[in-house]
Copies of this chain bind each other. A is one copy, B any other.
């Protein structure tokens, strides 16, 4: 970091001005740094904190450099959304693979989905996208959810017919995903209010999900 001062070339005007040493990064490194900082700001202060000035100030670079790398402020935000959704989907996809291969149980899958929405603020980001109308970035989640449904359908025994199975699996999928998102957003606050530990909701979901997927022995109101 501490480099000896080279011959300052302050355009021949102010010879005493220090030339503000520059760090020159590779484009990938600069983008990675910016996205990391933006994510940290998102988690710490909310979506509105992700501005070019805030990210640039956090990294000690000029905000114009961020425009150079991402094209615009919305370019940076879109890239952050894309990256976080990508991480979310790949995490869930790997869990789907294990479930499909019979190497994981439903309870583990619930844990993975909850963790995926919690880790790195993915749930908060998804909520932000849904709130601001940027739901097109959520499309990959829809794909992996459909993939998940497909895998669970194969892993489920065939009683009751394909239609009934599909209904149960889609219901269970919506249930898990919605609960995981809600838990990531407001779970901590609510748990503090009632004095419960962190894994409460996901544990309950893990015990209930098999009952949802199992063929209902008793018609519990189909309407």
A189 located at the interface, meaning its Cβ lies under 8 Å from any Cβ of chain B in the complex: yes
Nearest CB of B to A161, in Å: 17
A175 touching B189 by the CB < 8 A rule? no
Q: Which A149-206 residues have a C-beta within 8 angstroms of B?
A: 149, 170-175, 177-183, 185-187, 189-191, 193-196, 200-201, 203-206
Contact indicator B185/A170 (Cβ below 8 Å): no
Judge whether A133 is part of the interface by a CB distance below 8 angstroms. Answer: yes
A178 touching B149, Cβ below 8 Å:
no
The answer to whether residues A132 and B171 also contact, given A182-B182, A185-B181 and a CB cut-off of 8 A, is no
A191 to B170, CA, bound (A): 9
Most B CB contacts (10 A, CB to CB) among A172, A178, A203 go to A178
* A7 within 8 Å of B (CB atoms): no
- Given A211-B211, A212-B204, does the pair A130, B189 have CB atoms closer than 8 Å? yes
Q: Say yes or no for A39: interface residue by CB 8 A criterion.
A: no
Q: Does A38 contact B (CB under 8 A)?
A: no
Binds B, one of A20-28, A40-48, A60-68, A87-95: A40-48
Instruction: Tell me whether A221 is interfacial, beta carbon within 8 Å.
Output: yes
A135 near B171 with CB under 8 A, answer no
Contact A171 B200 (CB under 8 A): yes
CB proximity of A68 to chain B, nearest CB, Å: 25
Q: Is A142 an interface residue (CB 8 A)?
A: yes
- Residues of chain B within 8 A (CB-CB) of A195 are 170
Give the B-binding residues of A (Cβ under 8 A): 45-48, 124, 126-128, 130-133, 135, 138, 141-142, 145-146, 149, 170-175, 177-183, 185-187, 189-191, 193-196, 200-201, 203-208, 211-212, 220-221
List of 3 A-B pairs having minimum Cβ-Cβ separation, nearest first: A182-B182, A142-B193, A178-B182
